[in-house]
Amino acid sequence: MRKDTLLVIPACNEAENLPRVAAEIAEAGAGGVCDVVLVDDGSTDATARIGADAGFVVVRHPYNLGAGSAVHTGLVFAWERGYSTAVTLDADGQHRPADIKALLAEAARTGADVVIGSRFLSAGSYRVPIHRKIGMLMFCRLASCFIRRRITDASSGYRVYSRRAIGILARMDYPSDYQDADVLIYLSRGGMEIVETPVTMRKRLCGVSMIRNLRSAYYVYKNLLSIVLTLLRKSPGPVPDHRRVS
């Protein structure tokens, strides 16, 4: 029987990390409350096969479009198939599937349209390089200013979206690289309530983060540009909900 919640996993060349992530999803019992779609963003390794072997629905991009586009594809999938809730979780092992039920419980408790899993509200000692920390702090301050609520982890991709939020993002011209403060600001302008809850995050299991060296400067530039363009957009209105269940 189809679940009401869809777990969206964007992935590009995560064959080393995905087996453990899949095992942790099973261990956490997330499969009992979520269907799972893996969006393979143009991988050249065995990411898609490993996802299929784990029992995930696999949607493939013919070439790499960026993490934001992979998330967008997953949210369009959720919208078109009538899911009430979507959870986004990275394939690199930073997000613990054990936190999925707590995130969903927070969404149910608060009635919020977006629940962000914040690594900086927990008792853990998640550390980031100083140059990234400065950028993250800046975007958190910007998000907090425009959302009018304190945001501590605007760059966290570990999120729960309500049906209303899924609809807004599914029709949004989604950023191709990241899903950060700009997306939160856009949702807030559409009347979506946004809250945070603590989660524990880890370093990625294998491989190297794409946001490093000169890429960090590009990250700051691209996000600032995205925030400006978001503020120039027309605020999103309600989305007609014609559910198609399959």
Residues 6+ apart with CB under 8 A from 82: 243, 244, 245
Residue ranges making up the domain that contains 188: 5-232
Task: Give the CATH number, domain containing residue 37.
Answer: 3.90.550.10
pLDDT tens string 226-246: 888 888 888 888 788 867 655
Query: What is the reported pLDDT for 179?
Result: 78
Instruction: Please check whether residue 238 lies inside any domain of the structure.
Output: no
Instruction: Please check whether residue 205 lies inside any domain of the structure.
Output: yes
118-142: average pLDDT: 78
Instruction: Please check whether residue 191 lies inside any domain of the structure.
Output: yes
Instruction: Please check whether residue 244 lies inside any domain of the structure.
Output: no
Is the separation of the CB atoms in 151 and 159 below 8 Å?
no
Burial of 2 (0-12, 13-18, 19+ CB in 10 A): exposed
Neighbours of 3 (CB within 10 A): 16
Which element (helix H / strand E) includes 34? strand 34-41
Determine the 3-state secondary structure of 87 from DSSP: strand
Instruction: Please check whether residue 243 lies inside any domain of the structure.
Output: no
Instruction: Please check whether residue 241 lies inside any domain of the structure.
Output: no
pLDDT tops 90 at residue 39: yes
pLDDT tens string 52-88: 999 999 999 999 999 999 999 999 999 999 999 999 9
Closest CA to 188 of 223, 222, 171, 164: 164
| DSSP secondary structure code for residue 123 in this structure | S
Instruction: Please check whether residue 22 lies inside any domain of the structure.
Output: yes
Report the DSSP pairing between strands 5-11 and 34-41.
parallel
pLDDT tens string 189-222: 999 999 999 999 887 666 555 545 556 677 788 8
Instruction: Please check whether residue 242 lies inside any domain of the structure.
Output: no
Domain count for the chain:
1
Query: What is the reported pLDDT for 63?
Result: 93
